Structure 1
Amino acid sequence: MTKKGLTFKQFWELSEVYTAPLNLFIILLGISAAHYLGGATLSINLTVFTCIIISFHVAVNIFNHWQDYNNAQDEHYKTVTNIIGRDNLSLKTVKGYFYSAMIISFVLGTYLVSQTNLFVGLLGGIGFYIGLFYSYGKYPLNSLPIAETITAIASGFFITLISYYLATYTESQSLAHFMTKLAGISLPLVISMFNNLLANNICDLEEDIPNGRKTLVYYLGKPRAVNLLLFLSVFNYLWLVVLVFLQLAPVTVLLLLLALPFVLKSLKVFKHKQDKQTTFPIILKTMSLTMVLYPILYFLGSYL
């Protein structure tokens, strides 16, 4: 007999709402970049956008668990690993939470477009598409070798770009004008998100193959995928120096270089052993360090 309701603990795991605050740091980077490069103005539109991001984040995570449960070919994954099968959750209840979060984000998104322009709507629409089709369809994105790249760009770049735009919005502005600069500024976040997904897929390779997922790791092989993760992690810190040199970031972001010894130590552990339970959390903490401290240091430098 399936459970019709959700406990707080089940909702916590199903929605992965505990990861939502990371989106707030991405928004903070966009606002801080706006202030540093020309001056930012906080507005109701930024508040609305924040609510959209959080509600859609919850919706996508619930949807991913739902679709992973439906698409699972491995019975152990379906009944032991996935929370829906493990806790015998009602699919009707799961769908109800998903649709509620989707309706909230869609209504707020429609309002935001009405207050700005269709280009914001276009970027938002692309983000909605990537979020929903990450785990849905005949060829879901999470089963393709482009999953890490597309997801990282949608979260790390698009959210930063729209936040920047809303913080500096005037009706005569062109969002495309800022895309090149914001691409460089958001790159540390994009790479960190890419690495999180890559490390996750490295650890899940043996589980993904029976479930028909052919991610980037499947094509590269574990050794090359690990080397790619190591290279991008080091490059991320070197890129901070480039940003300061190009005057796209305040000098305070260079304080993040102090974390490099810790990062290298964590990468060494992961290179030796790739395990979801023991070494993946180390990579997750390492990448989260950049995703949290980089926006904070940028914010401090832009306002000080």
Structure 2
Amino acid sequence: MNFKTFAELIELKAKAASVFPFLLGLAYSLYHYQTANFFPLFLYFIAMFCFNCFVDIWDNYNDYHKAVDTEDYKKNTNIIGRENLSLKTIRTLLMSFFSLSLLLGLIVAWLVGWPVFWLGLFCYFVGIFYSAGPKPLSSLPVGELASGLTMGYLIFLICVYINTSAVFIWDFESLGSTFLVALPSTLLISNLMLANNTCDLEEDEANHRYTIVHYIGRKNALRWWTMSIVVAYISIVAAVVLRLISPLMLMLFLLLPFIVKQARPYLQRQVKKETFIISVKILLIFSFTQTILMLVSLAI
């Protein structure tokens, strides 16, 4: 297996969906609490990255085995069949990534507190059953909620707790504040899944996967995708008004012309190999700028 195939197998190009919430959690901890706990944070990053790799390989593995469209999807679309990958190698990678992630996660929980264990357990549940079982989450109209909540918010929340475990209070104010700050990431990551399901609507239906797009239709899915970006900006303004983040974060509005320009081709044509990448670009640019502005606000 060469690097290009391995990168596609673990969906390396989409790893920013988990890396940026982590970085934002670190920046928010430094900005709002003036503290960080770097050693367990480093272990958590490795554990999070390994589990993310496991989930993507697991997703491809389950899709390969459950494919109804064996002539086209299984042989020509799914990377395992297309590249004729060894199932033994795939299972070895799955076990390796999962075991390392679990071991490091338990060490982090032992170092900073068991809330990490319970939050991580929920993430593991979502990650495993996202593509496993008779009715995987990815084939139900809850995939967007599951991916957005776990990757956009819980990765961020765990990061904040690791840094602030000595002072963090589990109350409505703390949870509401962290959720509002992480809401743009949550919505844009959810948009990735929504765009993926919109592009794959016919293919999913052929393989008996009935996502939210199947139920609400392509036009409403596009409206939802657009509204999520609008709400992401509203949440930035609300977080600034509530003094949870620096007014410098309002510079994210300078990205609007770029986002509008990027969104137009996707709203016109939803083709996986041509326009799905637009959702990835919007997430990357928005999250990168959001993180940089948070770090710059620390210096100021």
In 2: Cα distance, 1:176 partner to 1:10 partner: 45
Question: Does 2:68 correspond to 1:73?
Answer: yes
Question: Does 2:287 correspond to 1:285?
Answer: no
Aligned residue type for 2:59: N
Partner of 1:3: none
Name the TM-score, length of structure 1 as normaliser: 0.94
In 1: Cα distance, 2:33 partner to 2:67 partner: 49
Deviation at 1:13, TM superposition (A): 1.1
Deviation at 1:22, TM superposition (A): 4.3
Deviation at 1:243, TM superposition (A): 1.3
In 2: Cα distance, 1:237 partner to 1:173 partner: 27
Deviation at 1:79, TM superposition (A): 0.3
In 1: Cα distance, 2:31 partner to 2:4 partner: 40
**Identity across the alignment (%):** 33
Aligned residue type for 1:207: E
Partner of 2:79: 83
Deviations 1:254-287 (A, max 9, x none): 1111110121222222222111122221232122
**1:137-286 to 2 correspondence within 5 Å?**
137-170=133-166, 173-176=168-171, 178-286=174-282
Inter-CA distance 97–176: structure 2 relative to 1 (3 Å threshold): farther
8 A Cα contact 1:33 1:302, kept in partner: no
Deviations 1:141-183 (A, max 9, x none): 000101101111101111111111111221x643446211100
Partner of 1:39: 34
8 A Cα contact 2:51 2:98, kept in partner: yes
In 2: Cα distance, 1:113 partner to 1:175 partner: 16
Which consecutive unaligned segments of at least 5 residues does structure 1 have? 1-5
8 A Cα contact 1:237 1:260, kept in partner: no
Deviation at 1:9, TM superposition (A): 2.0
Which consecutive unaligned segments of at least 5 residues does structure 2 have? none
Inter-CA distance 176–162: structure 2 relative to 1 (3 Å threshold): farther
Deviation at 1:247, TM superposition (A): 0.6
Deviation at 1:17, TM superposition (A): 2.9
In 1: Cα distance, 2:282 partner to 2:4 partner: 26
8 A Cα contact 1:240 1:254, kept in partner: yes
The structure 1 segments of at least 4 consecutive aligned residues displaced by more than 3 Å after TM superposition are 172-177
Partner of 1:59: 54
In 2: Cα distance, 1:136 partner to 1:51 partner: 24
Aligned residue type for 1:294: Q
User: How many residues end up aligned between the 2 structures?
Assistant: 298
In 1: Cα distance, 2:246 partner to 2:143 partner: 32
> 1:12 aligned to 1, 7, 12, which one?
7
Aligned residue type for 2:9: L
Deviation at 1:132, TM superposition (A): 1.0
Deviations 1:82-141 (A, max 9, x none): 111011111111000110010100111111111122221000000011111110000000
8 A Cα contact 2:17 2:152, kept in partner: no
Deviation at 1:202, TM superposition (A): 0.4
Inter-CA distance 202–18: structure 2 relative to 1 (3 Å threshold): closer
8 A Cα contact 1:25 1:296, kept in partner: no
Partner of 1:49: 44
Name the TM-score, length of structure 2 as normaliser: 0.95
8 A Cα contact 1:35 1:303, kept in partner: no
Partner of 1:100: 96
Partner of 1:120: 116
Aligned residue type for 1:194: S
Aligned residue type for 1:239: S
8 A Cα contact 2:17 2:283, kept in partner: no
SS of residue matched to 1:209: helix
SS of residue matched to 1:174: coil
Deviation at 1:18, TM superposition (A): 3.8
Deviation at 1:290, TM superposition (A): 1.5
**1:288-303 to 2 correspondence within 5 Å?**
288-303=284-299
Deviation at 1:36, TM superposition (A): 1.8
Aligned residue type for 2:238: V
8 A Cα contact 2:192 2:279, kept in partner: yes
